[in-house]
Amino acid sequence: MLDERLTKVAAYIKGGTLVDIGSDHAYLPIYAIKNNIVQNAICGEVVKGPFDSTVENIKSHALKDRIEARFGSGLEIVNHDDDIDSITICGMGGPLIADILKSGFKNVKGKPRLVLQPNTYSYPVRKALVDLGYSIIEETVIRNGRHFYEILVAEAGHAFYDEKTLMFGPVNLQKREQAFIQKLERELEHQKRILANLEINSGNQEKINEIRENIYLLEEVL
């Protein structure tokens, strides 16, 4: 069984073939195939231990004919012979997901749907999507205890987002879901604590001004 976070990710996958980067035991592709969301999948892993676990889990679910495990970094595991309908990259920091997209997208044929779940700092992910000619069509925030997880869904289409939209998300700003607001309230308190500490212990005016700007933007959205 998938947790709520990956179950929500699975709901946004479409088409016949899924590529899952950083597959972690192939849980998501196995679920997607068993629930008839996709017909086939490719799993990418760059670390030997998780790759071996992915291979074993695919075998234990008798899905070797439908899920292929590939060892390699990010989107370097795919090529233009692969007909891909959806790509998922989940459970990583936003800057790493952005780097995977920017460095490896040249290997991807066409413009498949992207379903991305950054654990932290989604700004660079949105920026990378715009640079790749994608538009964000859906966003949501999942709360699990003290942790908040963002999910971004993007499809081919040129978009322009200002700095505030890149930071918070075009759909998030429109929908204003409860978990999204709670996430921002948590971040606002965090930024205020940082500012108070800096004002007492640091003379770094540039950093102080940066935190004040963050607080201003958070308060404006809230």
Q: List C-alpha distances in Å: 222 to 173, 177, 182, 184.
A: 10, 12, 10, 7
Same domain? For 133 and 213 the reply is no
Same domain? For 150 and 73 the reply is yes
Residue that terminates a domain, selected from 175, 193, 210: 175
What pLDDT score does 211 carry?
85
Q: List C-alpha distances in Å: 190 to 106, 124, 210, 218.
A: 38, 20, 14, 11
Same domain? For 140 and 189 the reply is no
Beta strands in the chain (DSSP E): 17-21, 40-45, 67-71, 86-93, 113-120, 134-144, 147-156
CATH assignment of the domain containing 152: 3.40.50.150
Same domain? For 28 and 128 the reply is yes
Q: How far apart are CA 73 and CA 89, in angstroms?
A: 12
What pLDDT score does 198 carry?
83
What pLDDT score does 200 carry?
81
- Domain residue limits at 205: 183-221
What pLDDT score does 55 carry?
94
Strand partners, 17: 40
What pLDDT score does 83 carry?
96
Say whether 21 sits in a helix, a strand or coil.
Answer: strand
Same domain? For 26 and 68 the reply is yes
Number of domains in the chain: 2
Contacts 24+ apart (CB under 8 A), 64-67: 66/33, 66/39, 66/40, 66/41, 67/26, 67/29, 67/30, 67/33, 67/40, 67/41, 67/42, 67/43
Same domain? For 151 and 217 the reply is no
- pLDDT tens-digit map of 49-72: 889 999 999 999 999 999 999 999
Same domain? For 69 and 170 the reply is yes
- pLDDT tens-digit map of 126-179: 999 999 999 999 999 999 888 899 999 999 999 999 999 999 999 999 999 999
- pLDDT tens-digit map of 74-110: 999 999 999 999 999 999 999 999 999 999 999 999 9
Q: How far apart are CA 41 and CA 30, in angstroms?
A: 8
What pLDDT score does 104 carry?
96
Could you tell me if 105 and 138 are in contact, meaning their C-beta atoms sit under 8 angstroms apart?
no
pLDDT at 1 over 80: no
pLDDT at 204 over 80: no
Mean residue pLDDT of the chain comes to: 94
